[in-house]
Amino acid sequence: MDMIEFFHMNGGIGDASYSTNSGLQGMGIMKTKGVIEQAVSDLCRSSVKFPKTLVMADLGCSLGPNTLLVGSMVIDAVAKTSLEMGFKSPQVQINLNDLPTNDFNTIFIALQDLQVNSTNGNINHQPACYFTGVPGSFFGRLFPMKSLNFVHSSYSLQWLSQMPELEEINKGNIYLSSTSPESVSRAYFEQFQKDFIRFLRCRSEEVMAGGRMVLTVAGRTTDDPRDEESNRLWRPFTMALQDMVYEGLVEEEKLDSFNLPQFTASPTEIMNLVKMEGSFEIDHLEIFYLNWDAWKGKKNMNDALSQLKETEDDGTVGHGVAKAIRAVIESLVANHFGEAILDDVFKRYGQIITNTRSESHDVVSITVSLTRKM
Ligand SMILES: C[S@@+](CC[C@H](N)C(=O)[O-])C[C@H]1O[C@@H](n2cnc3c(N)ncnc32)[C@H](O)[C@@H]1O
């Protein structure tokens, strides 16, 4: 199963879209603002001549507020650095990349908001910005040799290029869990290793010497990828599918053959693979947590982003998580099980999450800031 053919976030700006339901990832991006600003500032300051044009790429940009958020952070960081250094702001070219099935039209329609949001008091230093859409997989080459100064990617690189080839059935699971066979765990890691090295190799050709990358992924803190932490979001979804198998609504064989093509890596795995590939130096790595309870009482995830206050409305936590996860994996679930189960399975998923509130709701994120070696 090659992801490039059908994997996409839910398009548009409606109630089920990624645009409306990506506030948790947005919170994650906000937490990396300092790292992004530092990388852009270091990039400008370490250049022999202050750059006249800064070319950046956001890889796996998807659509909605988060795409604009990343762009506006970089624009503001460029404006701030050039103001501090007394130089004219460089012009900024922002390449927005995602798989060809991504809803690029929605991004382009929303781009005018970015001009308004990115002024941030630096109106005179506001860089001129040029946007381009770049469809294609980031596991292959996307840009000419040495054409990029800065690369950003958030919550995209945990997605694999394809489902790993499994020698054994991952019975009762849709991702790695404590009951997954060792061979399944190994196959997942080997696919991630192959993909991540391919990603670094392609970027090493495209990023100029001294260029920077800031990558944020859904990850884990534990050594064993089969630890509960990795499966937190997916165990309730497995339970929902199992209930549907018991009720005869989903075939058992269908469930046994469904595995999510993603891998939540640990900081050590990421550091080792960067070292093994050899083209980039790690400047900074940090781990942070996002808590699902941000969904509490919010109609959608963008409410959660703007008003992070608690309410007693427990019932909406599961509903909010289910909507957010549906916006991400609906195409995968529909491709494997068919569209008919979608409403039912995501409703059950939400209910199971709401009923298991005592469990930890922290999702681990890892951000790594890198420099292309000279
Ligand atoms: C969860 S979304 C994250 C979007 C956005 N960066 C954010 O932080 O909200 C993951 C995105 O990665 C994209 N993606 C996954 N694999 C990809 C690949 N091989 N090449 C390009 N984009 C990919 C998906 O299509 C999706 O839009």
Cβ of 159 less than 6 Å from ligand 1: yes
Classify burial at 288, counting beta carbons within 10 Å of its beta carbon; exposed 0-12, middle 13-18, buried 19 or more: middle
Partners of 207 in the β-ladder? 148
Domain boundaries, the chain: 3-224+260-291+362-372
Query: For residue 307, what pLDDT is reported?
Result: 45
Ligand 1 centre and the CA of 278: distance in Å?
25
Each residue of 202-212: pLDDT tens digit?
Answer: 999 999 999 99
Ligand 1 centre and the CA of 138: distance in Å?
9
Each residue of 255-291: pLDDT tens digit?
Answer: 999 999 999 999 999 999 999 999 999 999 999 999 8
Q: CA 102 to CA 6: how far, in whole Å?
A: 9
Cβ of 152 less than 6 Å from ligand 1: no
> What's the 3-state SS for 253-281?
HHHHCCCCCECCECHHHHHHHHHHHCCEE
Ligand 1 centre and the CA of 181: distance in Å?
28
Query: For residue 354, what pLDDT is reported?
Result: 86
Low-confidence ranges of the chain (pLDDT < 70): 1, 113-125, 294-316, 357-360
Each residue of 127-142: pLDDT tens digit?
Answer: 889 999 999 999 999 9
Q: Could you name the CATH architecture of 3-224+260-291+362-372?
A: 3-Layer(aba) Sandwich (3.40)
Can you state the angle between helices 342-355 and 235-246, rounded to 10 degrees?
120
Query: For residue 112, what pLDDT is reported?
Result: 75
180: helix, strand or coil: coil
Cβ of 102 less than 6 Å from ligand 1: yes
Question: What is the CA 338 to chain-centroid distance, rounded?
Answer: 25
Ligand 1 centre and the CA of 62: distance in Å?
5
Cβ of 196 less than 6 Å from ligand 1: no
Choose which residue among 9, 156, 260 to substitute to test ligand 1 binding: the one with the highest number of ligand atoms within 8 A of its C-beta: 156
Ligand 1 centre and the CA of 122: distance in Å?
30
Count Cβ neighbours within 10 Å for each residue of 227-244 and write b for 16 or more, e otherwise: bebbbbbbbbbbbbbbbb
Choose which residue among 97, 159, 217, 331 to substitute to test ligand 1 binding: the one with the highest number of ligand atoms within 8 A of its C-beta: 159
- Range list of H helices, 86-120: 104-117
Query: For residue 314, what pLDDT is reported?
Result: 45
Query: For residue 311, what pLDDT is reported?
Result: 37
Query: For residue 111, what pLDDT is reported?
Result: 86
Ligand 1 centre and the CA of 328: distance in Å?
9
Cβ of 154 less than 6 Å from ligand 1: yes
The answer to whether 64 and 20 are in contact (CB under 8 A) is: yes
Dihedral sign from CA coordinates of 102, 36, 159, 93: positive
**Which residue's CA is the closest to the ligand 1 atom numbered 13?**
60
Ligand 1 centre and the CA of 200: distance in Å?
16
Q: Relative to the CA of 22, which ligand 1 atom is closest?
A: 9
Choose which residue among 30, 56, 62 to substitute to test ligand 1 binding: the one with the highest number of ligand atoms within 8 A of its C-beta: 62
Q: CA 266 to CA 264: how far, in whole Å?
A: 7
Query: For residue 313, what pLDDT is reported?
Result: 39
88: helix, strand or coil: coil
Q: Relative to the CA of 328, which ligand 1 atom is closest?
A: 1
Per 3-state DSSP, the chain is made up of helix, strand and coil in percentages (nearest 5) of: 45, 20, 35
